[in-house]
Structure 1
Amino acid sequence: MENIATIEIRDNAFARQFETTLPEGLITIEYSFQERKIFLTKINTPEEFKNEIFIDNLIKNILDNAIEQRLRVVPIYPRIVQFFKKNPSYKELLPPGIRL
């Protein structure tokens, strides 16, 4: 995988979301777990936040963590599906039978 910037990400298990805080506000990626799979269901950003490169890096950090934990990833949210299409090296994380 390519070298990416490390982002401080908190796993808020109670709210089932990964969180990071920027001057613009809180950015979250909601998830759910099921049988060694993590379903990435939604990205929440402040209304004025438009930094797509940061969102890509946030997704990469979460996926790298999934690799370390040997989890499969099921992208549900369209922006995350788009990320997988633009970054085919991460498609190995998809469970068998999932095509984008």
Structure 2
Amino acid sequence: MEAMAAIELTDNEFLRQFEATFDGKMAKMEYSAQDRKIFLTKIVMPAGTEEHMNDFIIAVFNEVKEREISLVPTSPEIAKFMRANRRKYKRLLPVGINI
């Protein structure tokens, strides 16, 4: 597995989505913020950039961790990633939430 390239993550608060560019195309992860939680509701990967989805999710998870808030993955793809990496990211989930 090759090292993850640095991803320039943008938080577009107006559209409530994280954005990153892969191969000249913009990927988006929509969210809804409430109290000290962020609900990750949808991920959109442009055609041809799907192989970067895990890197994008990791970048968003790291951003959430830096903000010291909890995340709730409501998108099926993000929840699947969380389940596959439960040990590493379990602390990001709010108390009482199991994925």
Q: TM-score, normalization: structure 1?
A: 0.87
Q: Say if 1:24 and 1:49, in contact at 8 Å, map to a contact too.
A: no
CA offset at residue 41 of structure 1?
Answer: 0.3
Q: Shift of the alpha carbon at 1:23?
A: 2.7
Moved more, 24-33 or 70-79: 24-33
| More off after superposition, 71-80 vs 17-26 | 17-26
Larger CA deviation: 55-64 vs 33-42: 55-64
Q: Distance in 2 between matches of 1:48 and 1:56?
A: 14
| Partner in structure 1 of residue 25 of structure 2 | 25
Is the CA contact 1:24–1:46 (under 8 Å) kept in the aligned structure 2?
A: no
For the residue of structure 2 that corresponds to 1:74, the secondary structure is strand
Q: Tell me, in whole angstroms, the C-alpha distance in 1 between the residues paired with 2:24 and 2:4.
A: 21
**1:91 counterpart = 2:72:** no
Q: Decide whether the 8 Å contact of 2:45 with 2:53 is kept in 1.
A: no
Identical amino acids, percent of aligned pairs:
41
* Shift in Å, 1:50: 2.9
The aligned counterpart of 1:37 is 37
CA distance 1:7–1:80, shift in 2 (3 Å): same
Pairs aligned (count):
96
| TM-score normalised by length of structure 2 | 0.87
Tell me the amino acid that sits aligned with residue 44 of structure 1. Answer: V
* Structure 2, unaligned runs of 5 or more: none
Q: What stretches of structure 1 move > 6 A for 4+ residues in a row?
A: none
Q: Is the 8 Å Cα contact of residues 17 and 29 (structure 2) preserved in structure 1?
A: yes
**TM-superposed deviation, 1:48:** 4.1
* TM-align CA RMSD: 1.6
Structure 2 counterpart of 1:9, which letter?
Answer: L
Q: Which amino acid aligns with 1:40?
A: L
